[in-house]
């Protein structure tokens, strides 16, 4: 670093980068000269924009739920005693529909994230194990490419094929138990909740053991 000026060194490296790497860097849309002029306030604004983008769906759901429950409460007050019970059932049904829809969207997001992680591991683990083998760590490369790769793929498949469907069933039974006061619905929701907890603990313990 002291012998070669950094701009010259960067120019030499830029000519040796593969085309795929240059395409990825060009797609970012950020120039190093622009990044050099960033200030702390610019970073704070960027982090604030990311936080606002992440909180927008949650705030939208909260506003929808609050507006619906307020309207249902006003209708319940206007309906009177004979019809108030029906208004309460409709309020619970609508709120359960809103919550269940948001929960299903979250489970789909978890499934997509698990698939992205599985794709990333499929592309990254062979490269890393090859580097480890080239550096003389043949046994570590075999363990990493064998046990870690197989177990991470297995856990990803368990999350997508077993854990997320159990979570969706738990949500459905929980909403049904809130709508209809049936002991069987409550017991089914509690059973799926225990299964979900055991599956999460088992996956966490297995992944910790592999690490």
The mean per-residue pLDDT over the stretch 73-84 comes to 80
The mean per-residue pLDDT over the stretch 16-37 comes to 59
Please enumerate in sequence order all residues whose Cβ is within 8 A of that of 147, keeping only pairs 6 or more positions apart, or say none.
Answer: 210
Give whole-number Cα distances, 135 to 118, 119, 141, 194, in Å: 26, 25, 10, 46
Residue 161: what pLDDT? 85
The mean per-residue pLDDT over the stretch 106-128 comes to 80
pLDDT reading at 86 higher than 60: yes
* Stronger pLDDT, 4 or 157, i.e. the higher one: 157
Give the pLDDT band (50/70/90) at residue 8: very low
CB-CB contact of 118 with 84 (8 Å): no
Report H helices in 80-137: 81-134
Residue 182: what pLDDT? 77
Helix (H) or strand (E) holding 22: helix 19-27
């Amino acid at each position: 670093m002291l012998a070669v000026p950094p701009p010259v060194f960067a120019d030499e490296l830029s000519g040796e980068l593969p085309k795929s790497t240059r395409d990825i860097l060009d797609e970012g849309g950020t120039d190093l000269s622009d990044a050099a002029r960033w200030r702390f306030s610019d970073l704070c604004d960027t982090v604030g924009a990311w936080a606002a983008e992440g909180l927008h769906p949650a705030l939208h759901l909260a506003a929808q739920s609050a507006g619906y429950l307020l309207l249902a409460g006003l209708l319940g007050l206007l309906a009177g005693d004979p019809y108030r019970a029906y208004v309460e059932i409709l309020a619970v049904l609508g709120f359960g529909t809103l919550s269940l829809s948001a929960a299903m969207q979250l489970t789909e997001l978890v499934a997509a994230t698990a698939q992205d992680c599985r794709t990333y591991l499929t592309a990254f683990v062979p490269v890393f194990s090859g580097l480890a083998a080239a550096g003389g760590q043949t046994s570590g490369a075999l363990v990493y490419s064998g046990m870690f790769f197989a177990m991470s793929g297995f856990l990803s498949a368990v999350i997508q094929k077993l854990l997320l469907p159990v979570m969706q069933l738990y949500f459905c039974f929980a909403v049904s138990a809130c709508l209809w006061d049936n002991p069987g619905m409550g017991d089914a929701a509690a059973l799926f909740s225990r299964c979900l907890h055991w599956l999460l603990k088992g996956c966490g313990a297995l992944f910790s053991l592999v690490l």
